Amino acid sequence: MVLTLYKIFLFSLCPVTLLVGHLISYRVTLEVDKDGWFNTYFVKQGWFWTSLIGWWCMIRYGLFGHRGSWKKTLIRYSVLTAWWLIFTQSIWTEVAPLMDLVFTATGGRCTFDVFDPSQSLTWQLNEKFHDTFSRRQSGLQKLYRALKQGSGNPSSLLQGAISEIEYWLSEGKDQLKNMEATPSQLNSLIDEAVRSWRKINSSNLCRSVGGYWIGGHDPSGHIFLITLMCMFLLGELQVIGKKALRKLKSDHRFLYLLKDHLIGIMRLGGITLLISKPPANRKDMIKQLGMAPLKWVKQVLILMALILRFLVWENPVTVLILLTFMWWWSFLITTIAFHTLLEQISGLLCAYVVAAVVYWKLT
């Protein structure tokens, strides 16, 4: 294999970004909403968007017309997808993903410490029960449903704990009523009740019943996933890159059409022409003024359709590059704001174990 500049870029992008992000983290503190729309609907569904854009590019650039090319891409994609599922997803209910097995093997566990064990006299919610207020509230709601559903014959203490959680959810109080037990005892009781109802062996199951991970080594799932996605998109760009670039360079008609419609928009649907050369009678003037906004909207819609056609239909490599940049940016933010350096490195290495082998010999 010839070590080209592109190969060096492909295999060094994520490690160098991790190093840069770690250095930036010493100077910058970021407050990132883990449950924001971008993270929820985009990053966490990243393999779907990557697959969609990646395979759309393969279709549009005629990869299926080359004997054997699409099959090789399918093999590489299948290997990466299988590794993503094994490492981060619970394929079977009884089997935890590999990243969760690493976490539990290093001392991590799912905990339900709802009440602050350090406050034995004044009953308060544990501020360490999830890392944000919204996650704490959501965790309590899930835990409340799990306790109500799973506790067939609850003890009086457990009923009291359920009542206190319900009270907090309805009243939004930070301080709770006194009870005939210590916070630690109630936390243990809740933990036993949940675990007797359901076996919790993965982070996904832990979150589904309101618990949260503590302790252990937690390989960064975001770093792992984003590394795989960048490697897939940039790796397959080697296959379609030359054809995509030729198509992009030869598409001059778009620039002429873009210029015409931009001029039409800047003329405000003909209003500037009406001002410089008004009609002879008032009736035509009113008619043309009424039509001007419609003409302007039409020009804008045509321009949007033109750009969409150029980017998505005729030159989808531009969308692939944009998506790769967004994944890279998300990778950088993750290195600054989330996980320890060792957890980031382990997530990166676990992705490279497979991705580097898949793309090392690709020419």
66 noted as active-site residue:
no
Distance CA 290, CA 286 (A): 6
Query: CA 85 to CA 240: how far, in whole Å?
Result: 26
Q: How confident is the prediction along the chain (363 residues), in pLDDT tens digits per residue? A: 566 888 899 999 999 999 999 999 988 888 777 777 777 888 889 999 999 999 999 888 877 766 667 888 899 999 999 999 999 887 776 778 899 999 989 988 888 888 777 766 666 777 788 877 778 778 878 887 887 776 665 565 566 666 666 666 565 555 555 556 677 877 888 888 888 777 888 888 888 888 888 888 989 999 999 999 999 999 999 888 888 888 877 776 766 666 666 666 565 545 555 555 555 666 665 665 566 667 767 777 877 887 888 878 888 899 999 999 999 999 999 999 888 899 999 999 999 999 989 998 765
Residues in the chain: 363
Q: Rg (Cα) of the chain, in Å, rounded?
A: 28
Alpha helices in the chain (DSSP H): 5-25, 37-38, 46-60, 69-88, 98-105, 133-150, 156-171, 183-197, 203-208, 221-250, 253-266, 271-276, 282-308, 317-337, 341-360
C-alpha closest to that of 150 among 191, 204, 203: 191
Residue 270 CA to its chain's centroid (Å): 44
Whole-number Å distance between alpha carbons of 324 and 13 = 11
The 3-state DSSP class for residue 252 equals coil
- Confirm if 103 and 175 have CB atoms less than 8 A apart: no
- Residue whose C-alpha is closest to residue 223's, from 357, 103, 87, 322: 87
Contacts of 116 (CB under 8 A, 6+ apart): 124, 125, 126, 127, 183
CA 253 distance to own-chain centroid: 36
Name the residue among 237, 227, 229, 170 with its Cα closest to residue 47. 229
Under 8 Å between Cβ of 214 and 108: yes
CA distances 298 to 195, 249, 255, 265, 268, Å, are 61, 28, 19, 9, 11
How far, in Å, are 90, 152, 157, 274, 347 from residue 198 at the CA level?
A: 15, 13, 20, 74, 28
**Set 22, 66, 222, 261: catalytic member:** 222
Residues near 277 by Cβ (< 8 Å), separated by ≥ 6? Answer: none
- Residue in the block written with tokens 């090392």: 360
CB within 8 Å of 317: residues ≥ 6 apart: 57, 61, 237, 240, 241, 244, 245, 248
The one catalytic residue in 130, 252, 261, 339 is: 339
Q: What is the pTM of this model?
A: 0.81
CB neighbour list of residue 295: distance below 8 Å, 6 or more residues apart: 264, 269, 270
